[in-house]
Structure 1
Amino acid sequence: MTKYLISFPAPAMNVPPEDFAAVGEAARAVVLEAKAAGVYVFGGGINDGAAPVMVAGDGTVTKGTYPQTREFDGGLCILELPSREAAVHWAAKLAQACRCSQELREFHYDPDS
């Protein structure tokens, strides 16, 4: 089976503050459904309170990110699914729960992962 990344940037979730609890509840329900279906691998939200750093091969740490990932925030979920159609189905469930479109990406197959 193939692993899929389903994600969204934080600004895409334009939800009134009074609706955050309902959105969280709906998203957790989809995650529980994915776990029950045996397709859930990992998920969560990027902690915007912890600044990202770059780590070089020699262990040197510098502040910042690659320019193209400066705005990487929001939520993500990795599911292992039998087809792209199944991934679209789960992405739609998450889009409905989070009230914003989800980006769907497919991981390259790695027999060791």
Structure 2
Amino acid sequence: MTKYLISFPSGEMDLSDGGLQAAADAAHAVVAEAKAAGVWVFGGGIDESVPPVRVAADGTVTEGTYPQTRHLEGGYTVLELPTYEAALEWAAKIAEACRCAQEVRAFGDDPAS
């Protein structure tokens, strides 16, 4: 089975109809459903209070991030699913709960690991 990253930027959430708590409750229900279905791997949101750093091979730590990921924030879910179509179905459930469209990406499989 393939692992899929389902994600969204927090600024895209439409909270005008019920607020953050309603969205959180709906998202927790989808998480519970994914866990019950045995497809849950990991999920959560980026803690925006912890600034990103880059760590080089020699251990040098540099504050900041790559320019293309400067605005990385929001929610992330990793599910292990049998098909891409199943990933799209779960993304639709998450989109409804989080009140915004979801981006779906498949992780590449490394047969050596």
Instruction: Give the TM bin, normalised by the shorter chain.
Output: over 0.9
Q: CA deviation at 1:10?
A: 1.3
Q: CA deviation at 1:14?
A: 3.1
Query: TM-score normalised to the size of structure 1?
Result: 0.95
**Does 2:72 match 1:45?**
no
Instruction: State the secondary structure of the residue aligned to 1:93.
Output: helix
Query: TM-score normalised to the size of structure 2?
Result: 0.95
Give the superposed CA RMSD. 1.4
What per-residue deviation string (whole Å, max 9, x for no partner) do you get for residues 3-59 of structure 1? Answer: 000000111113149611010000000000000000000000000000000100100
Question: What's 1:19 paired with?
Answer: 19
Taking the TM superposition and a 5 Å limit, the aligned residue runs for 1:73-92 are 73-92=73-92
Q: CA deviation at 1:109?
A: 0.9
Q: Which runs of 4+ in 1 moved over 3 A?
A: none
- Structure 1: which amino acid aligns with 2:79? L
Identity percentage over the alignment? 62
For these two proteins, the number of residue pairs brought into alignment is: 113
Q: Aligned partners of 1:102, 1:18: CA distance in 2, in Å?
A: 19
Q: Which runs of 5+ in 1 are unaligned?
A: none
